[in-house]
Amino acid sequence: MATLLPNPQAELADVPLAQRPRHVAIIMDGNGRWAEQRGLPRIEGHRRGVESVRRVTEESARLGITQLTLYCLSSENWKRPQTELDLLMDLLEQYLVEERTTLIRQQIRVSVIGRREGIPDSVLREMDKTISLSSHHQGLHLCLAINYGGRAEMVDAVRQLARRVQQGSLEPDSIDEQAIHDALYTAGMPDPDLLIRTAGELRLSNFLLWQISYAELWVTERCWPEFREADLHAALRSYASRKRRFGGLPS
């Protein structure tokens, strides 16, 4: 793949930089549904979905978006058939290996949020290697939510704060929103400005429940395997047209 340097003016010239989201989060839904509608195995939808991940990541980097967070595997997805889960893990490992050179060339920094329990050791090794090799990059921050659940994240944050109180390093009355933010998996990351969901579903599915308090929502009927750069542009234009008041009144 060719190196794609950020060029915010190349596309969306009608959307000023100040009106674009800094952090875009995406619930990538509809892989299995897309495959079933075409008489294909569900895993084929996941394979095609990897291509959408590649295209949207490269376009986000080219447009100068600061962070892209993708909901890859929820903690509830472990309820799926074991065969499908095994193939999903294989696809994830393959992605981490095959895309590593491109991620490094484009200076994309990778991080992962979620619990590590249940993820195969081989996947964890490739995950940790990619995170380490890209840790100093200054381009797009690509955050992958793997074995992630918003409620589980809050439980882990509360446990962390409770341990600090028990150890005497934190006073209960000093716990505020910043303290909770710092205990979440996403500590140090900006909250999403725009949340995109594919396949027409109108729910949050336990994704970034704390962080999306003021995110703008954009839903498309397109399933994730057919999501393309033009759809991302449409979401960004919609975002730019909205008035973000954060509970206040427009000036």
Q: Is 31 a catalytic residue?
A: no
Q: How many independent structural domains does the chain possess?
A: 1
Mind listing the pLDDT tens digit for each residue in 128-162? Answer: 999 999 999 999 999 999 999 999 999 999 999 99
Q: Estimate to the nearest angstrom the gap between the alpha carbon of 180 and the chain centroid.
A: 20
What distance, in Å, lies between the first and last C-alpha atoms of the chain? 45
Q: Is residue 172 part of a domain?
A: yes
pLDDT recorded at residue 18? 86
Indicate the DSSP class of residue 23: E
pLDDT recorded at residue 5? 43
How far apart CA 15 and CA 112 sit, in angstroms, is 30
Q: Estimate to the nearest angstrom the gap between the alpha carbon of 100 and the chain centroid.
A: 17
List the strands of the sheet with 141-148, edge to edge.
109-113, 141-148, 67-74, 23-27, 194-197, 216-219
Q: Is residue 251 part of a domain?
A: no
Q: Is residue 7 part of a domain?
A: no
Largest CA distance in the chain: 59
pLDDT recorded at residue 12? 83
Q: Is residue 216 part of a domain?
A: yes
Q: Is 128 a catalytic residue?
A: no
Q: Give the three-state DSSP class for 165.
A: helix
Count Cβ atoms below 10 Å from residue 72 Cβ, excluding itself. Answer: 22
pLDDT recorded at residue 244? 80
Spatial CA neighbour of 186 closest among 113, 108, 110, 109? 113
Give pTM, 2 decimals: 0.92
Amino acid at 38: R
Q: Is residue 248 part of a domain?
A: no
Q: Is residue 190 part of a domain?
A: yes
Domain limits at 127? Answer: 20-240
Selecting among 14, 77, 90, 128, the annotated active-site residue is 77
pLDDT recorded at residue 4? 44
pLDDT recorded at residue 11? 65
Residue 242: CA count within 13 A, CB half-sphere? 18
Q: Using 50 as the pLDDT threshold, list the residues of the chain that sit under it.
A: 1-9
Selecting among 7, 29, 128, 193, the annotated active-site residue is 29
Contact 201, 144 (CB under 8 A): no
pLDDT recorded at residue 14? 86
Q: Is residue 10 part of a domain?
A: no
**CATH, residue 205:** 3.40.1180.10
Q: Is residue 70 part of a domain?
A: yes
Mind listing the pLDDT tens digit for each residue in 91-103? Answer: 999 999 999 999 9
